[in-house]
Amino acid sequence: MPDTPADDVRRPEPDRRTVRRLDPRSLRGLAHPLRMRLLSALQESGPATASGLADRLGESSGATSYHLRQLASYGFVEDDPDRGTGRERWWKAVHRGTGFDDTDAFMAHPNPAVRGALTTYMHELAAEHAEQLDTWLGTAHEWREPWRSVGELSGFSLRLTPELALELATRVHELIEAYRDRVPEPPAGEHPRSPAPDGSAAVRVHFHAFPRRID
């Protein structure tokens, strides 16, 4: 069978339900406060323009345009051809989230720039979680029942081995994934911020687990 010309090879459409596994290069490309906020906004609320994101995040459109192009160069976002026009460029997230296969490999990486990028990424992620929780606490009264009663704010202290801590995290992830398809996702680009006609709403779940010294 003759080889297919390179120009005719079509790359498969990326699976937007997948989680992008970060490597040292992509981590360094993402680990910037504004880039992480831009990517999170696109993942949560669907496609948007640089100017729309600038208004939402309180940034200049020049800054959002630059960092969106940087995100695109690392494969985190791409053009949305169904929405783009000659005057406006729409962007969409390529994956539904980001993560690591082995965080320890980054913590112990010989390149200090990679270790620094991991620190930036983790601190920005923690700040985003805190901001989202703070927003819920400040606006919970605006939601009707039964939504006002479903917010959860709990902390637990356990004594575990590293193996048991990993088992716990794995089982929590599996439990959350089991709920992902229980309610159909809205059409692409339509992410209601309030309950939809079917009674569903976007629900954010945070899970933190880490060892502590008690002294």
Identify the CATH number of the domain in which residue 93 sits: 1.10.10.10
Same domain, 24 and 68: yes
Backbone φ and ψ of 125, nearest 5°: -65, -45
Question: What's the CA gap between 135 and 91, in Å, rounded?
Answer: 25
DSSP 145: T
Please give the pLDDT value at position 84.
63
Amino acid sitting at position 180: R
Predicted local distance difference test score (pLDDT) of residue 198: 82
Whether 2 shows a pLDDT value over 50: the answer reads no
Q: Which residue has the tokens 């339900």?
A: 17
Position 4 in a domain? no
Mean pLDDT within 78-100: 87
Query: Which value, to the nearest 10 degrees, does the dihedral of the CA atoms of residues 65, 125, 23, 20 take?
Result: -80
pLDDT value of residue 1: 32
Do 60 and 74 sit in the same domain of this protein? yes
Q: 55-69, 95-109, 113-127 — which is least confidently predicted?
A: 95-109
Report the pLDDT value the prediction gives residue 85, as an integer from 0 to 100: 66
Per-residue pLDDT, 153 = 93
* Whole-angstrom distance, CA of residue 26 vs CA of residue 11: 20
Greater confidence, 192 or 147?
Answer: 147
Do 100 and 130 sit in the same domain of this protein?
A: yes
pTM over 0.75: yes
Domain assignment of residue 215, yes or no: yes
Q: Output phi, psi for 32, to 5 deg.
A: -145, 135
Among 142, 160, 195, the domain-final residue is 142
The confidence score (pLDDT) of residue 9 equals 32
As a whole-number percent, the residues of the chain with pLDDT over 90 amount to 70
Among 77, 111, 142, the domain-final residue is: 142
Mean pLDDT score, 170-199:
79
Q: Which domain holds residue 169?
A: 144-215
